[in-house]
Structure 1
Amino acid sequence: MKKLLPLLFVFSFFLSKQSHAQFETVKDSVVQLYGIVMTADSLVGIPAVSVSIKGTTRGTVTNNQGVFSIVALKGDVVEFTHVSYKPKSITVPRNIPGNQYNIVQLMVEDTFYLPATIIKPRPSPEQFARDFANTKVPDDDIEIARQNNDAAKRRILLQSTPSDGGGATAMQFRNIANRAVYQGQIPPMNIFNPAAWSEFIKAWKRGDFKSK
């Protein structure tokens, strides 16, 4: 056991030196990247430019003056993108002395060419008035709600819309209750009920029995 102690001490010392060397290497590769993004023609700072490290999730945006700051590694590719300018990218040099690097990035406006559109006037005021009067304006939500609350529309929806679970269950319970009340006797027929005849006549006048 005493013979192993010197070997363990040498091994731990070697691991500590190696870890320290690796830490110094990583520390030396970290770069604080400062810069400003400007227009190539007028040298004006561009705000809201996306600055990101390619292949990573690290990124930032320029402020109102086009200035930005981001942490990168030596050899990283930094991408600059904006909706109005052509994208650009740079590579952080590996032989930078120290851990700071400043750049001035210029961007060129990206021009989009749309197909030509020809706007023609109406041939005459009379035709414009005629087309304007005949234009179908779609109903808004308030008009659709008003139409759905109409009495005739509600009757149509009541006939065509199936019952939900609660309605079907309530109807089934009413049928069971009616059968229990008239158990052992003949249930009354609505053919002799004046109120039922009155409702039938009203429904006939409304046209509820017409084929849709």
Structure 2
Amino acid sequence: MNRLIIPFLILLVGLGLVQKVSAQQNNPYRDSIVQLYGVIMTADSLRGIPSASVIVEGKGRGTITSYDGVFSIAVMKGDRITFSSIGFKNNSIQIPFNLESNQYSVIQLLISDTAYLPATILKPRPTKEQFERDFLNNRFPDDAYEIARKNTDEATRRILLNSLPADGREAVNFQLRQQTNKYYYAGQVPPMNIMNPAAWADFITAWKRGDFKRKK
């Protein structure tokens, strides 16, 4: 019985090893890890760019170049690599899927990214006399409180009253008052307020206020 079990176990182990080797040979990702290395340089002067970023897109991994612009990082076949540095335009490459070896070297050239800033004019600080002059001559816009104060000023209201035409309601009320006085004193002489102290008080107040001044 033991003589039959031992060959059977050897057969099972052998079949397992064959299946494992066959699976490794048929696995497309068996040799997908690639050692990417190279140097990042300026396109105009071919100088190494230090501390440039080497990022594997979508993987959250990366590295930076050395002082001479040299880098090395482990990537996968098909990964997209982005090279970037401040003052240069970004550039990207893709690791080939059909790469036969597990090493891939690149010499990446970055083009300078020129940014033009608006011109800045420097002026000397003003003297104390110039600051006082400009501060006193500066005109600030009125706030809501100042605008309301000006609109409710007595002189402003008097000017608006004399210059603006009456609206429909005021015109109708004036006409009705005129007709009321005419019908009330029909057949008699209307009373004269020349001896009325209240009328004289109103006249003096209006005269001081300037209601009788000639309008230009």
What TM-score do the two structures reach when normalised by structure 1? 0.50
Could you tell me which amino acid in structure 2 is paired with residue 48 of structure 1? S
Pick from 23, 33, 38 the counterpart of residue 36 of structure 2. Answer: 33
Deviation of 1:61 after TM superposition, in Å, equals 0.5
Q: Deviations over 1:31-85 (max 9, x none)?
A: 1111000000000000000101111122110000000011112221111111221
Mapped partners of 1:123, 1:59: distance in 2: 52
What TM-score do the two structures reach when normalised by structure 2? 0.50
- Which runs of 5 or more residues in structure 1 are unaligned? 132-212
Q: Paired residues, what number? A: 130
Mapped partners of 1:63, 1:6: distance in 2: 54
Asked whether the 8 Å contact 2:34–2:104 carries over to 1, the reply is: yes
- Which runs of 5 or more residues in structure 2 are unaligned? 135-216
Could you tell me which amino acid in structure 2 is paired with residue 112 of structure 1? A
Pick from 63, 66, 74 the counterpart of residue 60 of structure 1. Answer: 63
1:94 to 2:113 alignment? no
Give the match for residue 170 of structure 1: none
Could you tell me which amino acid in structure 1 is paired with residue 47 of structure 2? V
1:21 to 2:25 alignment? yes
Give the match for residue 116 of structure 2: 113
SS in 2 for 1:21: helix
Deviation of 1:30 after TM superposition, in Å, equals 1.7
Deviation of 1:21 after TM superposition, in Å, equals 2.2
Give the match for residue 44 of structure 1: 47
SS in 2 for 1:119: coil
Moved more, 74-83 or 108-117: 108-117
Mapped partners of 1:129, 1:112: distance in 2: 40
Q: CA RMSD in A?
A: 3.3
Deviation of 1:94 after TM superposition, in Å, equals 2.3
Mapped partners of 1:22, 1:86: distance in 2: 41
Mapped partners of 2:43, 2:52: distance in 1: 14
Could you tell me which amino acid in structure 2 is paired with residue 37 of structure 1? I
Q: Deviations over 1:101-147 (max 9, x none)?
A: 1110000112222233332334657436999xxxxxxxxxxxxxxxx
SS in 2 for 1:28: coil
Mapped partners of 2:45, 2:12: distance in 1: 66
Give the match for residue 207 of structure 2: none
Mapped partners of 1:112, 1:60: distance in 2: 26
Mapped partners of 1:128, 1:66: distance in 2: 53
Q: Give the direction of change, closer, same or farther, for the CA distance of 1:9–1:97 in structure 2 (3 Å limit).
A: closer
Mapped partners of 1:93, 1:112: distance in 2: 34
SS in 1 for 2:55: strand
Deviation of 1:29 after TM superposition, in Å, equals 2.0
Mapped partners of 1:61, 1:37: distance in 2: 10
Structure number with larger C-alpha Rg: 2
Could you tell me which amino acid in structure 2 is paired with residue 59 of structure 1? G
